[in-house]
Amino acid sequence: MSSSLQEILEGKIDFVGQQQVDLISRIWLIGTTIISFLAGFALQSLQVTFGTFGVSTLLLALFVVPPWPMFNRHPTQWLPSLSASKKA
């Protein structure tokens, strides 16, 4: 398997990227819930409520599930292993 395809399938993002995805998801879902409820209430239709919420949730998934480069801007700097530092 090519390295670029393997990288896409693994979906690695850094810790800062995970926090960004969490914040985006929370804000998006809260806003979508309010908008969906108001639209469904105004039109008196559960179909509109759940349709709006479902479509927006799919859009959110397309935005946050792939490992976009913007979620991988802060790579983790790991400390060297103890065995390597004792040998040096």
Distances (CA, A) of 62 to 39, 68, 80: 23, 10, 36
> How far apart are the C-alpha atoms of 50 and 6, rounded to whole Å?
35
Q: Global pTM?
A: 0.76
Query: Does residue 27 surpass a pLDDT of 80?
Result: yes
Domain spans of the chain, in order of start: 3-69
Kindly report the average pLDDT of the chain as a whole number. Answer: 89
Helices 15-43 and 46-64 pack at an angle, to 10 degrees, of 160
Stated length of the chain: 88
> In 3D, which of 26, 24, 57, 54 has the Cα closest to residue 40?
54
DSSP classification of residue 11? T
Q: Quick one: pLDDT band at residue 84, thresholds 50, 70, 90?
A: low
